[in-house]
């Protein structure tokens, strides 16, 4: 069983300590993941009103969402402090590097969580605040503590928290939820498995060392490739369902084209796996990020002009 680090040493040079400590706390929040989550919040808010909501509401929702995602990620780092040192991808995070102690990371994550939910409750509405709290709790208590360590289905069910910003953004604007919000949620939810499995293929040895049963660790590359193909097709179908719920051809054609390219890249991974060739998973990973960005832009533009 992996041992948790028990000795916390300060390794930051004294003169650079304030800046380095700030950077370490920022790293706990995993800013790149926060950015990706916020990409889906703004389109949901625009689509909910078919116009730009008040600048204040958008600012509060985005700040609250960023703090919530940062809180969830910081608590994830605290929970995973036993396995992060075992993986090259995570071994330089603040806790394995001993630039921040576990207690400090825990307190930091909890404080961010309280601030984010309080901010949403005070300046948006209780539904948005409740969804924010659920997203944090689901990611850390359901996904990180349980699913991630016990089942290859962790990526599928973990997609719930990754898609929650859509519902939070919609609820912040309207105080409720509607079918287009759920269709957007489905797109992001179904998009996540092929996106993350591509990264997990690259980091398969890391996850195996840590005893994490990601699908590429416990299944053949052919099976992972087939599953990726299935979920890219489902993502495309969900994006078409959103078109059917009142979006214009501008969105529909864009979703169809970029969705087809997403599906095509997944098929390429699967075809390489079947031929026992290098699967080049990061091409799918990077294209999946591009896909979601372009789709979010299309939703935003469509919401403002349609």
The DSSP code sequence of 163-207 is: HHHHHHHHHHHHSS--HHHHHHHHHHHHHHHHHHHHHHHHTHHHH
Burial of 292 (0-12, 13-18, 19+ CB in 10 A): buried
Angstrom distance (rounded) from CA 171 to CA 41:
11
Lowest mean pLDDT among 21-30, 188-197, 211-220, 267-276: 21-30
Instruction: Give the residue-averaged pLDDT of 223-244.
Output: 98
Angstrom distance (rounded) from CA 209 to CA 65:
33
Amino acid 146: pLDDT: 95
CA 80 to chain centre: 17
The answer to whether residue 171 scores a pLDDT higher than 80 is yes
The answer to whether residue 10 scores a pLDDT higher than 50 is no
Instruction: Give the residue-averaged pLDDT of 95-118.
Output: 95
81: phi then psi, degrees, rounded to nearest 5 = -65, -15
Amino acid 19: pLDDT: 78
How much of the chain, in percent, has pLDDT values that exceed 90? 86
Asked if residue 259 lies in contact with residue 5, where contact means CB atoms within 8 angstroms, the answer is no
The answer to whether residue 138 scores a pLDDT higher than 70 is yes
Residue 9 pLDDT class (50, 70, 90 cuts): very low
Residue 119 pLDDT class (50, 70, 90 cuts): very high
Amino acid 17: pLDDT: 74
Amino acid 13: pLDDT: 42
Positive/negative CA dihedral, 139, 68, 70, 165: positive
The answer to whether residue 15 scores a pLDDT higher than 80 is no
Residue 77 pLDDT class (50, 70, 90 cuts): very high
Q: Which segments within 34-160 are labelled E, that is strand?
A: none
Crossing angle of the two packed helices 102-123 and 55-79, in degrees rounded to 10? 160
Q: Which residues contact 298 (CB under 8 A, 6 or more apart)?
A: 250, 251, 254, 255, 258
Instruction: Give the residue-averaged pLDDT of 254-281.
Output: 96
How much of the chain, in percent, has pLDDT values that exceed 70? 95
Instruction: Output the CA torsion 229→154→120→69 (10° steps).
Output: -90
The answer to whether residue 305 scores a pLDDT higher than 50 is yes
Amino acid 32: pLDDT: 82
Angstrom distance (rounded) from CA 293 to CA 202:
22
Q: In the predicted model, what is the mean pLDDT of the chain?
A: 92
pTM passes above 0.85: yes
Angstrom distance (rounded) from CA 57 to CA 76:
28
């Amino acid at each position: 069983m992996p041992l948790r680090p028990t000795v916390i040493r300060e390794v930051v040079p004294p003169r650079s300590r304030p800046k380095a400590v700030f950077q370490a706390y920022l790293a706990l929040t995993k800013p790149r993941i926060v950015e990706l989550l916020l990409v889906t919040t703004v389109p949901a808010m625009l689509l909910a009103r078919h116009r730009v909501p008040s600048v204040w509401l958008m600012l509060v929702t985005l700040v609250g969402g960023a703090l919530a995602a940062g809180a969830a990620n910081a608590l994830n780092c605290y929970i995973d402090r036993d396995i992060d040192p075992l993986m090259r991808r995570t071994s330089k995070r603040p806790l394995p590097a001993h630039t921040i102690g576990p207690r400090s990371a825990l307190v930091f994550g909890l404080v961010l969580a309280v601030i984010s939910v309080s901010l949403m409750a005070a300046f948006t509405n209780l539904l948005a605040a409740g969804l924010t709290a659920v997203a944090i709790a689901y990611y850390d208590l359901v996904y990180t503590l349980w699913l991630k360590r016990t089942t290859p289905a962790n990526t599928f069910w973990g997609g719930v928290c990754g898609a929650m910003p859509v519902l939070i953004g919609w609820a912040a604007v309207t105080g409720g939820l509607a079918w287009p919000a759920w269709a957007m949620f489905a797109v992001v939810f179904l998009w996540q498995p092929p996106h993350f499995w591509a990264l997990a293929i690259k980091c398969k040895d890391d996850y195996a060392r840590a005893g994490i049963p990601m699908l590429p660790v416990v299944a053949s590359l052919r099976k992972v490739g087939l599953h990726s193909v299935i979920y890219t097709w489902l993502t495309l179908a969900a994006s078409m369902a959103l078109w059917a719920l009142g979006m214009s051809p501008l969105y529909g054609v864009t979703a169809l084209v970029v969705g087809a390219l997403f599906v095509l890249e997944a098929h390429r991974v699967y075809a390489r796996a079947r031929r026992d060739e290098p699967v080049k998973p990061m091409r799918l990973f990077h294209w999946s990020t591009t896909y979601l960005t372009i789709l979010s832009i299309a939703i935003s533009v469509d919401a403002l002009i349609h």
